[in-house]
Structure 1
Amino acid sequence: RPDLVYQDWTTRKVPVMEAAIRAKFTQHNAPRRALLNTGRRRLVEDSVVDSYWGGGRDRGGLNHLGRLLMELREELRMQESVQRADVLRVAASLERDRAPSWEDGRNDL
Structure 2
Amino acid sequence: MSLFAADNGENDLFMSRTDPENPLGTHIPFSFELEGKVWPTLEHYFQGMKFTDENRQEKVRAADTPAKAGKLGRKRHKSLRRDWKQVRETVMTRGVYVRCRANPELAAALLDTGEQKIVENSNYDYFWGCGHDRRGENRYGQVLMNVRAKLREEQEERG
Q: Same fold (TM over 0.5)?
A: yes
Identity fraction in percent: 31
Query: 1:47 — aligned with what?
Result: 122
Higher helix share: 1
Deviations, residues 10-54 of structure 1 (Å, cap 9, x unaligned): 112111111111111111011100000000000111111111011
Aligned partner of 1:26 among 101, 104, 107? 101
Equivalent position SS for 1:2: coil
1:2 offset after TM fit, Å? 3.5
| Aligned mate of 1:17, from 71, 76, 92 | 92
Gaps of 5+ in 2: 1-74
Question: Corresponding residue for 1:67?
Answer: 142
Aligned counterpart, 1:2: 76
CA distance in structure 2 between the aligned counterparts of 1:2 and 1:65, rounded to whole angstroms: 22
Question: Which sections of structure 1, spanning at least 5 residues, go unmatched?
Answer: 85-109
Shift of 1:61: 0.5
Aligned mates of 1:57, 1:33 — CA distance in 2: 30
Distance 2:84 2:113 in 1: 30
Q: Equivalent residue of 1:44, what SS? A: strand
For normalisation by structure 2, the TM-score amounts to: 0.50
SS state at 2:118 partner: coil
Other structure's SS at 2:77 match: helix
How far 1:68 moved relative to its partner?
Answer: 1.1
CA shift digits 1:50-93 (9 cap, x unpaired): 11011111111001111111111011111111112xxxxxxxxx
In the alignment, residue 141 of structure 2 is paired with which amino acid? G
Distance 2:148 2:157 in 1: 14
Q: Which gives a bigger RCO, structure 1 or 2 (Cα 8 Å, sep 6+)?
A: 2
**Paired positions, count:** 84
